[in-house]
Amino acid sequence: MTELLTAAQMRAIEQAAIESGEVTGLELMERAGQGVVDAIFAEWPELAMPKHSAPAAGGAGGSTPSPLRGSPPEYLERDDNEMRRAVVLCGPGNNGGDGFVVARLLRDAGWQVEVFLYGDAEKLPPDAKVNHERWVKIAPVTALTEQAFRKVAFADMYVDALFGTGLTRPVAGDLAGLLRHLGGYGGDDYRPRMVAVDVPSGLCADSGRVVTPNPRARVPTATLARLTVTFDSPKCGHFVGDGPHHCGRIVVKDIGVRQFREHKPNPHTGRGHVVRFPRTSLIGKRRMVPDERPFFSVDIRYFTKNQGHKYAHGHAFILSGGVGKGGAARLAARGALRVGAGAVTLGSPPAALIENAAQLNAIMLQSLKDPDALRVLLQDTRINALCIGPGLGLNDRGAALVAGVLGGEEPRPTVLDADALTLLAQDRALFDELHANCVLTPHAGEFARLFPEIAEKLNAPATTGPAYSKVDATREAAKRAGCVVLFKGPDTVIADPSGRCSINASVYERSAPWLATAGSGDVLAGFITGLLARGFGAMQAAETGAWLHTECALSFGPGLIAEDLPEELPKLFRELGI
């Protein structure tokens, strides 16, 4: 389990490390720069070899070098043509300081390096200034303008060290033009050889949103990197919003500040206390890590069915809609059963019983006319998890059933999805009935209906950094609803009312675009319901369900349709050793 940090949390950790006296800011900057250089050689091993002995450039991903315009400046032409060439773009803060370190280390490795600075060298923060001074003893620094950059455009490597976690406002003027150019606007493609230091410049490290002054801007003012090298921990913005698109790939380099993430002051100085709540975890790696608590883990002990009869593993009840509308609920029911609920029953309106009966075998079927019938059914205390919404219908029966599910004497753990979310949005009294064992699973449209003010903030242009993020929005929604909210998308964010938050990111190596298929959300609702039936807490059921959902899609691959997702679980469980 990986912890994701915000820019403020990273700054606090860095501050604590420096205040402890165990490390200086300059040392951290050196480690950061070294980390970037190491990552470059790991990503593009051919760049460690002389130019004409290496295989065709393009790197691990096999991309080809871009046909860039421009020619090297005069003093570079005097250099050996065998040498690798880097262009390093440094900004006015410590991100720029990292850039000067990278430039020096590449030079030490035998590269020709051209360094540009945006801003006034005199105003650089102290550590960046020291590294700037070290560099100017080696070679000149050119003031960065789009025109100056275009003159020396060809290089084996571009290092984007303009802005990192300190981006506070939109990039404007000539520099904005340069960032758009580096982002591919205009046709030149720098991405195959672009490495971003900490975060692609122009992108907010917290929200993964491009900070922009213009709400209608169609061309993002941010670089596009093939590789983004960040320090200590990934940042939230690397995984949500447009972050994955701009970052390319994330490599995290340890800079030796991990111990300052503890909630303990340094015993000698009394300082160094880092407050990092609320925490955000990344649900990502395909492995079982039961010992990495308190963050999310898929713990196989919870999955193993050791003893007990079917009802010992829970009984999930899925409420379905009218004639011809039962597919979504059946998908959810199948998901609940495959994920391991001991028994699953579908509650169908009487008129749709025959249709459902024709399609179900292991899933039991029960006539469910109205809330009175529901009340009678729920007297069966073995039913310990409910799912309402998929295919339910936006009608009086649907609204009455949502009220019945939430308002019962002993409200059960409940997943509310699809139509149930729209019904909740239409009736605030219903919304107020939500309880801590509920899980809401909105996609962006449903989220906007349920939490219009929060969605408005999220959808407003990001004009300042740090910008309001999907993580902020989901946390706020969970607090307002008083229950777990799972906000769907390739960057699914899950939060509970206490502020605990995780991201199930189907991006980078877990990219699973095949999940964008009708009915896949219904299966997710079923997975979560099944896990609730098995005794998982609401947050853990939502996290685990989302993780399994992506893993099933990855395991199945292209061509996936919603029906395939539950059927992939047995294979996945086998692979996981369950």
Ligand X SMILES: NC(=O)C1=CN([C@@H]2O[C@H](COP(=O)(O)OP(=O)(O)OC[C@H]3O[C@@H](n4cnc5c(N)ncnc54)[C@H](OP(=O)(O)O)[C@@H]3O)[C@@H](O)[C@H]2O)[C@@H](O)CC1
Ligand Y SMILES: Nc1ncnc2c1ncn2[C@@H]1O[C@H](COP(=O)(O)OP(=O)(O)O)[C@@H](O)[C@H]1O
Q: Which of residues 108-127 bind ligand X (CB under 6 A)?
A: 125
Which residue of this chain has its Cβ atom nearest to K ion in the complex? 201
17 binds K ion (CB under 5 A): no
Determine the Cα–Cα distance for residues 98 and 26; give it in Å rounded to an integer.
Answer: 10
522 in a known ligand binding site: yes
Handedness of CA 262, 268, 272, 274 (dihedral sign): positive
* Residue 260 near ligand X by CB under 6 A: no
Asked if 167 and 465 touch (Cβ cutoff 8 Å), the reply is yes
* Residue 198 annotated as lining a ligand binding site: yes
Tell whether residue 96 is among the known ligand binding residues.
Answer: yes
- Is 524 a binder of ligand Y (CB under 6 A)? yes
When binding is defined by CB under 6 A, the residue of 143, 376, 518, 561 that contacts ligand Y is: 518
Cα–Cα distance for residue pair 252/232, rounded to 1 Å: 6
Residue 182 sits in the site that holds K ion (CB under 5 A): no
201 binds, among ligand Y, K ion, ligand X, none (CB under 5 to 8 A by kind): K ion
Stretch that binds ligand X, among 159-167, 352-360, 511-519, 535-543 (CB under 6 A): 159-167
521 contact, one of ligand Y, ligand X, K ion, none, CB 5-8 Å limit per kind: ligand Y
Number of residues that bind K ion (CB under 5 A): 5
Does 521 count as an annotated binding residue? yes
Distance CA 178, CA 185 (A): 9
522 binds, among ligand X, ligand Y, K ion, none (CB under 5 to 8 A by kind): ligand Y
534 versus 549: smaller Cβ distance to ligand Y = 549
Is there binding between residue 97 and ligand X (CB under 6 A)?
A: yes
Q: How many residues does the chain have?
A: 578
Does 86 bind ligand X (CB under 6 A)? Our answer is: no
Give, for 436, the enclosing helix (H) or strand (E).
none
Cα angle: 262, vertex 265, 268; to 5 degrees: 130
Q: By CB under 6 A, is residue 170 in contact with ligand X?
A: yes
Strand order in the sheet with 85-90: 141-143, 112-117, 85-90, 157-161, 194-197, 227-231, 250-253
Residue 302 contacts residue 47 (beta carbons within 8 Å): no
Q: Binding to ligand X (CB under 6 A): which residues in 230-249?
A: 231
Question: Which tokens hold the place of 305?
Answer: 């069915």
Q: Looking at beta carbons only, is 99 or 489 nearer to ligand Y? A: 489
Contact between 207 and K ion by CB under 5 A: the answer reads: no
Encoding tokens for residue 329?
């609920």
Peptide bond into 466 cis (omega under 30): yes
d(CA 171, CA 168): 9
Cα–Cα–Cα angle for 279, 541, 574, nearest 5°?
Answer: 110
Q: Should residue 197 be labelled a site residue for K ion when binding is judged by CB under 5 A?
A: yes
Q: Site map for ligand Y, 455-494, x if CB under 6 A?
A: ---------------------------------xxx-x--
Residue 389 near which of ligand Y, K ion, ligand X, none (CB within 5-8 Å, type-dependent): none
What does the alpha-carbon distance between residue 44 and residue 59 come to, in Å, rounded to a whole number?
5
Q: Is residue 228 within 8 Å of 199, Cβ to Cβ?
A: yes
CA–CA gap between residue 286 and residue 249 (Å, rounded) = 17
**Structural contact between residues 20 and 272, judged by C-beta atoms closer than 8 angstroms:** yes
CB-CB contact of 207 with 237 (8 Å): yes
- Would you list which residues are annotated within the binding site for (6S)-NADPHX? 94-98, 164-170, 198, 328, 391, 443, 522
- Would you list which residues are annotated within the binding site? 94-98, 160, 164-170, 198, 201, 328, 391, 443, 488-492, 521-522
Interface residues with ligand Y (CB under 6 A)? 443, 488-490, 492, 506, 512-513, 515-516, 518-522, 524, 549
- Would you list which residues are annotated within the binding site for K(+)? 95, 160, 201
Interface residues with ligand X (CB under 6 A)? 10-11, 14, 28-29, 32, 91-98, 125, 163-171, 197-198, 231, 255
- Would you list which residues are annotated within the binding site for AMP? 488-492, 521
